[in-house]
Amino acid sequence: MANRFNFMRFFCFLILTLGLLCSPLHAGEKVLKISMDAVDAGQSSFNPFTTSNTNTVYNLVYDRLVEMGADGIIYPHLLKSWTISEDGLTIEFTLKKGVKFHDGSDLNADVLKWFLENLGKGQSKYMVAAVDSVDIKDNLTVVLNLSRPDPNILYNFTSSFTGIPSKQALEKYKEEYGRKYVVGTGPFEFVSWKTGDEIVLKKNKDYRWGCPLSDNQGPAKIDKIIFKEILEDSTRFLEFKTGGIDILEKAPTLFLDKIRKDPKANVITMASNTNFHMVMNTKREFLSDVNIRKAIALAVNQESILKAVFQGSGAPAYTYLIDRLPARKVDKKYEIHFDLATAKAIMAKEGWTTGSDGILVKDGKKLSLALWCKSDSDERKIAEIIQAQLLKLGVAIHIEQFDPSSIKAEFKKGNHDLVVRSYGWDNADILEWFFNSTRPGYPTVSMWHDNESDYLMHKAMTRSKTSEERIENFKKYHEYLLSQYLWAPLINTANNHAISKRVTMSSPPRFKNLVGPPILDMTIK
């Protein structure tokens, strides 16, 4: 009986041990939990050919040909080298040897040619609009033949929109690719995605081709990453505070002081690409008038918004580009600054009078507008402040909130008046993205269509032969857009990321983004 009892104990112990060894969450697994910026929530697809927006998951599942460093210099990643002809019409790309996709297929010249040609047919086709044809030179080398010099083309390939997917996987899974199946060459592999909840990635154990900006070329020291989609800033903060989150991407400014005082946390401040602005729909009844748009823009006090919403972290925006871009340096007369007195004078000159309720009236119509925003805290708070500021002008504002996943579809219907929005981009070509008249509704939320604007846009995008000429052309295009008061510029933010002291990393970050390739150099206790 004793022997039978001992045998049964041993058998149970063996089963328990095997179960623990086979468990996907066995002890010692290093799991990094990230709360992505609420602006990045509501992703529709992880197919770079068809998506119109990306998030930081793209930076980990996919690699790019080149990377932009925090120093503004472009470094090789999937490319071993590149050469550009003297006339700027031929570019030769040579890939690193031995790079494989998560499905085991090779990254070679054939795949790169396929990628470049399909990029030219998708949502981001403008990035390779100058590419006339692609030739294969050898197994790892392609030659891009350009119809015109494009001084911006290498920058374009640093974008998250140019992460390279597996040709084999995309052709195999077709419409399911980008949601159920996502395959790149990146340091992490796609595991699962619950829309509005979480995205799970696992380490690519075969990864050995990190960018030179990383100390660790691969594989990652982190075994698994869980991205949490949390919209409310207070909830994001509490998750971080209680240890449910290790990295709070773009930490809410309302809680920055508390985070800085937390002995278990660090705050890393990085240069931001984020610009907040209020879009005006030029097809709506009142907003089709440039003078009304000007008055509304001048009635918005950027300084007050910076102080109330961002706790002074960042800077007021007086143009449509972030401050460090050369094309932002327009003639001062085009900058849009708060000036309520001038705004009121414009409305009076246009024949608007103030009614007994304080709202402007003309021809029996009150100046009442809807102000749309996403339901995350920053946009909602900005909308509430603008509502109060425009009331001082005599404009009645009612706020409508939308879920991030649905608002873009609503834009295409064209029923919006004013919209609080933001973008994250560090290149002047963002102007083309938002004001190209061929894409009304989204991304041209202003519904803008103007021949002079389109001419200046095409000149900047396609007729610039040098970087200097490109800057000058974009500056003129930018000045014209500002003169039409299509947006009220609001804030250029700083990126403050909260990181648990359980996470160790290279400091300071050498990339322009924290969540992406820098994770190769991170580990967690």
Structure confidence by residue, pLDDT tens digits, 183-231: 999 999 999 999 889 999 999 999 999 999 999 999 999 999 999 999 8
In which band, very low, low, confident or very high, does the pLDDT at 297 lie, cut at 50, 70 and 90? very high
Structure confidence by residue, pLDDT tens digits, 426-484: 999 999 999 999 999 999 999 999 999 999 999 999 888 888 999 999 999 999 999 99
Residue closest to 320 by CA, chosen among 416, 464, 435: 435
How far is the C-alpha of 331 from the C-alpha of 346, rounded, in Å? 22
350-356 long-range contacts, CB within 8 A, separation 24+: 350/289, 350/291, 350/292, 350/295, 352/394, 354/394
pTM: 0.75
Structure confidence by residue, pLDDT tens digits, 310-367: 888 899 999 999 998 999 999 999 999 999 999 999 999 999 999 999 999 999 999 9
Say what the pLDDT of residue 27 is. 57
Say what the pLDDT of residue 22 is. 44
Say what the pLDDT of residue 15 is. 41
Strand ranges, E, within 139-203: 141-146, 188-194, 198-203
In which band, very low, low, confident or very high, does the pLDDT at 406 lie, cut at 50, 70 and 90? confident
pLDDT exceeds 60 at position 117: yes
Residue closest to 34 by CA, chosen among 221, 220, 199: 199
Say what the pLDDT of residue 44 is. 83
Say what the pLDDT of residue 83 is. 96
Mean pLDDT of the region 122-126: 87
pLDDT exceeds 60 at position 504: yes
pLDDT exceeds 80 at position 4: no
